[in-house]
A and B are shown apart, each in its own frame.
Chain A
Amino acid sequence: MVTEVEKIIIEMVKVTKAFQMYGMEHPSFKSFFTPFYKKITEFLNHNRELKLQVERFTILYQDKEIYKETEKELSIAFRLFRDGIRNIGFTDGLTADELLLFLDIISKQSKDQDIALNLWEADFSHIEFYVVDEEEEEELQYKIPEAPIENIDYDEILNHIRKKEKIDFEEEIKPDLNNTELSYLKNEILKVEKEPILGPAISTLINFLQTEQFSDIIDSLTELAKYSLDQQDFTNAHTIVVKIKELTEKNIIEKFENEMQIASFKNIVDILDEKKFNEFLDFISLFSKKAIPHLLNLTTSIKRPERLNAMRNRIADIAQDDPSPLLNFLESKNEAILINAISILGIMNIPASVEYFEPLITHPSIRVRSALITALAKFEKPELIAQLLNDPEIEVRIKALRALCRIKYPKIYPVLIQRIKSKKFHDYEFTEQKEIFNCLVANGDIQTIKLLKQILFRRLLFGRKRYKTMRHLAAMALAQINSPEALDVLNKGMHTRNKDIRNACQQALTKK
């Protein structure tokens, strides 16, 4: 049996080394662990338990040495012995998880590591151990303190206490707990297990800070704020920052507006639930402008559009009326950063930023030019948007047309008429043609109806089929104008002999 145990210990030493070299997930470790676990469980199945004695550099089984390593760094025995472990026992039923955790604990070589404490905390079901303290190995002297002997009338003292306490000493004590009381206890125990202590601890430290401004408390609260952020507890982090500022005028937020901290939010913004996300936004609203570059970086990782918008709005709030922290990013090579910077500047709506936008009109990225239109629309700068009507990309041109519809730019009217009248117009996609007519209506005047009427009723000898679309677009535009004059034109069109005109007017009136 001793030989068998000796083999198990040799395996254990190998496994421990493999663990230290490769870690738990590595195939090499697994190739050592599997036979070791098999061997030890087989032994336990037959013998119920495996009890080992630990000495300074040796491990004994049934008083026989089965392991010896005098090199402190390498010796498992020494590591266990150093922390006071004198016996280790494995019992039948030992699980692989337990054994892995055990190996994890005994493999760590840090000096601060206390194997005994870690084994204790692991609370194993099938691994027992006995630990001694240094003093215990010597002899601990017990001394019972003597009570002071005084000449006292103890019966009188009893009477005095009875009078002083003013309670009914005869009241029967019945401490049986009813179901409600048992539930109360269970609930309190559950709260200890589930509810973090962080909240009460922070309140306590803040209470303390109200009485005394002790720098260690501020440091501790700062640490707790950091911990809270790691735990995604933004409310507590917010409370700490606000309270410290209120009570000490110290602003600890600068500890959190650094690149690393803000980058740590990258993976969570999209997955936080709604409540947590709002708490997160409340927390970052404490940031100063220094955080803007890092926050801008953070926005590039956000996938959910509504979250991205919320973040852009919050960054705009942080920037207040100063666009400078964002302007530098208008030269960024990173498309996402550039787009977000443009968007935030658009939200901020500070006219001085516009001049920085001009060079971007020819930016190679469609997304950038598109973002630019959104921002420019917020600035109500149609002249720059109008420049994008010549953009090579249809998406950009359509977006520009739509923007011009919204913000009204009468100067665009002749440009649009020219475009409609040009031969090239027929080459545009229908969507763009439609947007041009919409834009015409939005920016037109009394002459628009006349123009549309001309287009609608134009007599043609050739190209009737191709012109059908033009009539249709004109009819739709008239319906959109929806004035008595415009409707009059459409009604008239309903009674012409030209089938194309009739159809276009009928469709327009129906859709209206």
Chain B
Amino acid sequence: MSIHQFGKKFITLLYTLTRACRIYDLNNDVVITAGQKFYQFINSLFDIFENIEIVRYRDYIFFNKQRLRFEIEGYASLQFIDNRLKHLDIKTIVISKGIEKDEIMRFITIFKETKDIFMNEIKQKSFPHIFVEFKTTKDEIPDFLQNGERTKKVYFKALMVTKNLMQNLWVNRTVDVRSSKRVVYNLIDTLSRDEFGLLALTTIKNFDEYTFNHSVNVGILSLALGQRIGLSKKDLVKLGTAGILHDIGKVEIDKGIIYKPGRLSTSEWEIIKLHSNFGVRQILKTRGLDEVSLYAIVVSYQHHWNYNGTGYPPRKEDEHPIFFSNIVRITDCYDAMTTFRPYQPTPYIPPLAIKVIWAKRGILFDPVIVKAFTQLLGVYPVGSCLKLSSQEIGLVVRQNPGHIEHPIIKIILDSKGKKVDGHTIDLSLDKKVSIINPVYPQKYSINPASYFV
């Protein structure tokens, strides 16, 4: 079992026990059984670990320094424990060797209570093997979590490598496959440490060279979605590579058409549509025929195939897109909708794009993947600007797992429209402020990306 799996099991058992204690008294069989299982599991962990450390930092939960991912499976338990820790303002819980069942049960009886009761009881009663550290107002970053800089480096490196790759292909030069492989691996590693940080960087859009940013963004969004639904690391490599390379066929299309300002003519659109075909050839040229490339080839060819059988290139009735193509169909569409393009000078704001994708589930998009995607980004994805009931403008800086309509925002404009370095509000907790509607950041001369870099 990996640390991540130990962590997931720990959270599931803690969830079961806490839930049981909320419903039944301590003598109930359900509670006794859940307590016994939790106790046994903790004891088995001490054969491997010195201590058990649970840290909640921002919206991540770490088990012995390993971040636990919010995956579709086990989502409820992780979300429940996350909410408990958040509600109780707990930053760290450390359980040490020698703990007895009685101490665990005493702790659980207060863990299920309100913040006041919990704080009071934890100070009053003796918990020799349980150490609790509360969150401070400074919200200091744990040592092992100072990832921000690294995340940015990984993003910009990915951008640079993708740009080099496509530019070299444009002029028929050889490409550096090793670097592009490393990019995907680094993105996956970064996602497991700092998912929201990396997702926030996908708000970076580039009007002049949108293809490169778009490719990286689609790669990241696909990887984050793949990670959320529980794909293995090996399969994430395939998905991430396919995401980054999905539009690579565009290098065969005249730049004059790709960057043509204004509307494209029908014949120009027909040429653009050929990029799905051309992608096949480019990937073969670039990467040869390993398994990862085969996925990239198929996804590049199928990423404009709609769920209802429409789309291009034309297909036979019995041909269906593979799972990864269905993922990239959504992430590609989302990033394209929210990106400036010569023929789309005013992109959709992220909440609008989410609404459109949601409405077209089962028509253009696989409805189940749309649900998972919406869980990932929320109704107001990171980078969205929201007008608040306080007349302030808030920028969505974090998703709130389990509260897709109530993200964590940062106030960036005060009620008079003046730029401020405002405070952060968790809209799931702070009920005084509510969202009026999402707004275009450009209306207020705001570039959301600048807040994340």
Which of A's residues lie within 8 Å of B, judged by CB? Answer: 48, 92-93, 114, 116-117, 120-121, 123, 125, 131, 133, 135-136, 140-142, 144-150, 152, 154-155, 157-158, 161, 165, 167-169, 171, 173, 175-177, 181-182, 184-186, 188-189, 191-193, 197-198, 200-201, 203-205, 207-208, 211-212, 214, 216-217, 220, 223-224, 227
Contact = CB atoms under 8 A, between A and B. Distances in A.
A155 B443 CA distance: 9
Interface string B424-446: 00000000000000011011010
B303 to A, nearest CB: 11
B323 A157 contact: no
Nearest to B355: A169
Contacts of B238: 192
A261 B403 CA distance: 59
Given A114-B178, A147-B442, A140 B157 contact: yes
Interface string B289-306: 101001101100110000
A140 B123 CA distance: 48
Contact of B298 (A161, A177, A204, A216): A204
Interface in B80-127: none
Given A154-B443, A220-B289, A204 B302 contact: yes
Contacts of A184: 368
A135 B289 contact: no
B184 to A, nearest CB: 10
Given A147-B340, A148-B340, A176-B371, 9 more contacts: A114-B178, A142-B152, A144-B450, A145-B213, A152-B345, A168-B359, A169-B352, A208-B301, A212-B277
The binding surface of chain A is classed by DSSP as helix
Contact of B281 (A154, A157, A217): A217
Given A182-B73, A201-B297, A220-B289, A117 B178 contact: yes
Contacts, number: 178
A183 to B, nearest CB: 10
A368 B3 CA distance: 67
Contacts of B277: 208, 211-212
Given A192-B231, A201-B298, A214 B281 contact: yes
Interface string B245-260: 0000000000000000
Contacts of A133: 157, 179, 182, 186
Contacts of B295: 197, 201
Contacts of B323: 188-189, 191-192
Interface stretch (B9-17, B19-27, B202-210, B262-270): B202-210
A173 B439 contact: no
Contacts of B354: 173
A181 B371 CA distance: 9
B289 A144 contact: no
Nearest to A93: B48
Given A48-B50, A157-B346, A158-B352, A185 B160 contact: no
Contact of B232 (A92, A140, A177, A193): A193
A21 B247 CA distance: 46
A175 B371 contact: yes
Given A145-B205, A193-B235, A204-B301, A140 B153 contact: yes
